[in-house]
Amino acid sequence: MHYNKMSEKDSYMVFSGTNTRYLAEKICQSLGCNLGQLVITKFSDGEFAVSYEESIRGRDIFLVQSTFPNSDNLMELLLMIDAAKRASARTINAVIPYFGWARQDRKDKPRVSIGAKLVADLLSVAGIDRLITMDLHADQIQGFFDVPVDHLYASGVILPYLQSLQLDNLVIASPDVGGSKRANTYAKYLGCPLVLCNKTRARANVIASMQIIGDVKDKNVVIIDDMVDTAGTITKAADIMKEAGAKTVRACASHCVMSGPASERVQNSSLEEIVFTDSIPYSNRCAKVKQLSVADMFAETIRRVINNESISSQYLV
C-alpha cells in the first residue's frame, strides 16, 4: 500500500480567532497559504462554540489570536485549542502576538492573583505544544510554560523604522526604570545615549511624579516601551522632556493597548508620533499613531518552526 507523503504546504494549517483575523490574513499572505476555515457560533446569551470546517487530522496547526481584553479572545483561543486536540491535530501551536494578563506576573501586594501564570496553565491544559509570542511584559513568563516558547521582539520592525528616520543627536529614553533594559538594548544597537525617567505611582494607571535622569537638551528623543495602555506615563514623559529642551520626542511601543483616554492624550501631547506594531487592532483614528506590521516576522517564524530551523537569526538585538 502506498501512502502519499504530505508536502510542506499540506503539513500545516493556519487558523484565526475573530479579532486577530486582520493579522492572520497578512501572515497567510506572507506564507503563501490560505487561512483555514473555522466557524465561531455565538449564542444569544454570549456563549460561543468553535468548529473546524475542514479536516486537520495529522496537521501542524497554528492558531493566531492575541489575548487582549475582553476575555472572549482568550476563551475563543482555548476552545480553538481544545477543538484542534479533539480533531487529532498533530501539533497545536498558539501564535499570540500580544499576550494579555502579562502585567500580573508576580505578587506585588498581598492577596492578589498571578494572572499570567493562570493563563499559561489554561493554555497548557487546553493542549498547546508550543507558544509563539512577542515582547512579553516580563521575560520570566516564558518559564510559566512547560512547552517551547518562541519569544520574538518588536525591535525587528521598530529598529529599521527608527534608522529610516535618520535622526541626528538621537537619545533613547525609558519611561520608567523597569523598562531600562529594553531601552538600553535599543541605545546600544543605535549607538546613542540612554536617558531614564523615574516615576512614582499613586495607584495603578495614575502617576504621582516623574523626573528625568540624563540630558535631553536639543536632542531628538525616542521613548521605548513594551505597551501603552492609558498613555499617561508616555505623554507625561514626553511633555517633561520637551520642557527640558528636547528638540523632538517620539515614542515606540510593541503593543497598542490604547484604552480609555489614551488617543486623546497622545493627540494633545508633545509627541511627534507614536509607533506600534499591529499585534492589537487599533480603530480610533489618532493622527499621531503609526502601526508597523509584524506579519512577515511571525510568518517567517512559523516557516522555520515547520522546517525545524533556528529562529535566533531573526533577532536584530
- With contact defined as beta carbons under 8 Å apart, do 183 and 194 qualify? yes
Grid cell at residue 252: 515606540
Please state, in angstroms and rounded to a whole number, the distance separating the CA atoms of residues 180 and 225: 9
What is the C-alpha to C-alpha distance for residues 91 and 80, in angstroms, rounded to an integer?
13
C-alpha distances out from residue 83 to 39, 48, 131, 190, Å:
11, 13, 17, 45
305 in Cβ contact with 150 (< 8 Å): yes
Please, are residues 52 and 82 in contact by the beta-carbon 8 Å criterion? no
Active-site pick, 26, 199, 219, 236: 199
Count of residues for the chain?
Answer: 317
Exposure class string for 216-251: b at 16+ Cβ within 10 A, else e: beebbbbbbbbbbbbbbbbbbbbbbbbeeebbbbbb
Residue 199 a catalytic site member:
yes
Residue 125 phi, psi dihedral angles, 5° rounding:
-65, -35
Is the backbone peptide bond immediately before 70 cis, with ω within 30 degrees of 0? yes
Residue 21 half-sphere exposure, CB side, CA atoms within 13 Å? 11
123: cell is 493554555
Close Cβ partners of 165 (under 8 Å, ≥ 6 residues apart): none
Three-state DSSP state, 203 = strand
> Which amino acid is present at 261?
P
**Angle separating helix axes 115-126 and 72-86, nearest 10 degrees:** 20
Active site residues per annotation: 199
